[in-house]
Structure 1
Amino acid sequence: MESAAGPVFAWLSGVVGEPVPMYPYAMLAGVIGGSWVGFRAFELAPERGVPSRTLSERLGVDGAHWRLRPLLTGVLLGSAAIGLTAGVLWATGLLRFETATPLTDVMVGDSWGNVALRLLVVLAPAALWEELAFRGFLYAVAEEAAGPLVARWASSVAFGMGHVLNPGASVQTTLIVMLAGWCLARLREQAGVPAAWLAHLAWNWIMAAVLHVAVSGLPFATPGYRAVLVGPDWLSGGSWGPEGGVIAALVLGGGALLARTRPEGAAHELAEAKESHHLRS
């Protein structure tokens, strides 16, 4: 695979001006292939009574989920959540900006746009494979076996545990990642996995490209300036980034509560769109 994909990654690296890692793309391909194999094996057990659906339908990425409204919903929700978190941190003096020197020669004189593009090329496939793995495959299997509530819990707990090896991980950061997973699972139910992916991507990209802070404990090389989190780590997030503090937990918790009281209009519209899509196909 590496030899076959080599020219593609060489071209992509030339476009963005920096070597593009193959890891997130390899993970994405692995999740898609593993999901197909897993669902295929699941369908071969007739006693389970699994309904016959395509891979894209079971992963929550079929045509109806790529409509403009749910995609914009994902972008806006992810941006608003991290924007509110950062805004509260800045207003309370827990986040400040300072000048940062370039970390590598390639970043000397580099524009913000180039850096933002490089981060997008890395973060987009990373967020997509995580969404397909946790809100796609795992959620679908759990939902078919035990219902949506178990699916939310299973996918959220697994999502949090999937980040325990990141630098600076703690019990608190793991619980907050689980809470983020719960919110993304609710968004998956309302608008589909593509919306959850774009919410996830917007959250991560704004932290890395706009705030220049670590994403789940992983720092990225960014020129010009950086946001510095001060005060107790349990409140601001510390080296993990703003998503690891109590402020982020309160924002996500508020989002989870709003999802409980939100009318089912978006889900109903999505169901109608899917029905229309099936009738046309």
Structure 2
Amino acid sequence: MSNVTPPSSDIPPLRPQRANSARLHRALLGDTLPVRQYDLLTDDHPCRWYDPRETLRVRAWSRGMAFVGILLGVMIAVSFIGVVVITVGETIGGSGEPGLDIDVASLRGSSPMAVLSSIAELIAAVVAYLIVTLVMERRRPPVELSPRRAFGVIRGMIAAFVCIAVCIGVIAVFGGYRIVGFDPGYNPWADLLTLGFTAGIAEEIMMRGILLRLTEESLGSWGAVILSAFVFGIIHWSNPDGTLWGGIAIAIEAGLLFGAIYLATRSLWWCMGFHFMWNIAEGPIFGSIVSGTGEQGSWLVARWSGPDWLTGGSFGLEASIVPVIVLGGVAIALLIHLQRHGLMLDPIKQRKRWLGILD
């Protein structure tokens, strides 16, 4: 931390919350974090003094660059080790000698490298985030991953299942979705790894734990949630059956909603549980293609019929107009709720003015 003394000017009082609304918020989402008076940030951020002498370690851009560097380094290291292990296992197995029994491909029915890539991404994201938060930010534990808040995973999973089920139900009412069977032979393990744990944990760490949280320190909550939603949508455009509309749809219905959930809870547990169940309910349970990633196995065998604007076409449920309207509407309503109750952080210029740093 910098040795600079925080400004002592009077801070405008925080906008009061309506008592009933605040109780409802806590009941549904959990406790919210207060805004600190000396830097006007919540406790999921390190202490900031907004001073040129502030140490490089706590500046947002340096933490972001460190995260990316560590992420790439760990991914390369884990991938290299994985390739060596798989190669040695195949070599020993091919010689007829007892050795490593590695059948990674059976998890997904594709190349072992696809599974290895997911494992490497998952490990790298967790390691990079812990180094940034524990070493650079010196927050032990980081409040957004505090073990006592881990029950947020369950709340997030329940909320996500309800969201997906409602959207599926609306599409079914209009004739676009019908269950025609059940596949007891479906093997979920690969999808639990790639669609569930890797997407739910790694992507939430990168998108909400790093991108949204760090940019919020300068852009404020509105700027950060919009930027993170845009990036979240764009990265899904690159999927095998990705489309521009699919990317835009995900930015609205998922990027804004996941960001709003993080701002409302300040809990990555909540976001991880929500993202995990979002993908699992959408694909393995209800039988939709997930984000344009290709053919999807599932327990429920579904028949999708009707125009692409209703069913989502080859991109899957997320490209349907239904979740864009329903869940995008929920996201905007939640963001407005946070704004009305003083839970959206202002941009850095406004915070500096309140703190008396700017004239």
Q: How does the TM-score come out when normalised to structure 1?
A: 0.73
**Separation of aligned partners in 2, 1:249 and 1:186:** 15
1:23 positional shift = 1.4
Query: Cα 1:150–1:40, aligned 2, differ >3 Å: closer, same or farther?
Result: farther
1:166 equivalent in structure 2 = 239
Q: How does 1:146-161 map to 2 (within 5 A)?
A: 146-161=219-234
Pick one of 156, 179, 191 that aligns with 1:119.
Answer: 191
**RMSD of aligned residue pairs (Cα, Å):** 3.6
1:80 equivalent in structure 2 = 162
**Separation of aligned partners in 2, 1:13 and 1:125:** 16
**Separation of aligned partners in 2, 1:121 and 1:86:** 24
- The secondary structure found in structure 2 opposite 1:215 is coil
Query: Cα 1:82–1:110, aligned 2, differ >3 Å: closer, same or farther?
Result: closer
| Alignment check: 8 A CA contact 1:188 1:196 kept | yes
Pick one of 95, 118, 143 that aligns with 1:24.
Answer: 118
| Alignment check: 8 A CA contact 2:288 2:296 kept | no
1:35 positional shift = 4.4
1:89 equivalent in structure 2 = 171
| Alignment check: 8 A CA contact 2:310 2:321 kept | yes
Query: Cα 1:10–1:228, aligned 2, differ >3 Å: closer, same or farther?
Result: farther
Alignment gaps of 5+ in structure 1:
44-51, 101-108, 269-281
Pick one of 102, 121, 130 that aligns with 2:203.
Answer: 130
**Separation of aligned partners in 2, 1:155 and 1:40:** 23
**Separation of aligned partners in 2, 1:170 and 1:31:** 26
Q: How does the TM-score come out when normalised to structure 2?
A: 0.58
Pick one of 127, 137, 142 that aligns with 1:57.
Answer: 142
Are 1:188 and 2:272 matched, yes or no?
no
Greater fraction of residues in helix: 1
**Separation of aligned partners in 2, 1:141 and 1:257:** 21
Query: Cα 1:39–1:195, aligned 2, differ >3 Å: closer, same or farther?
Result: closer
Count of paired positions: 244
**Separation of aligned partners in 2, 1:27 and 1:12:** 20
Q: Which structure would you say has the larger Rg?
A: 2
Query: Cα 1:172–1:152, aligned 2, differ >3 Å: closer, same or farther?
Result: same
Q: Report 1 or 2 for greater relative contact order, CA contacts < 8 Å, sequence distance ≥ 6.
A: 1
Percent identity, aligned pairs only, is 21
Select between 167-176 and 193-202 the one with higher mean Cα deviation: 167-176
| Alignment check: 8 A CA contact 1:229 1:237 kept | no
Alignment gaps of 5+ in structure 2:
1-77, 87-99, 344-359
Look up the equivalent residue of 1:54 and give its one-letter code. R
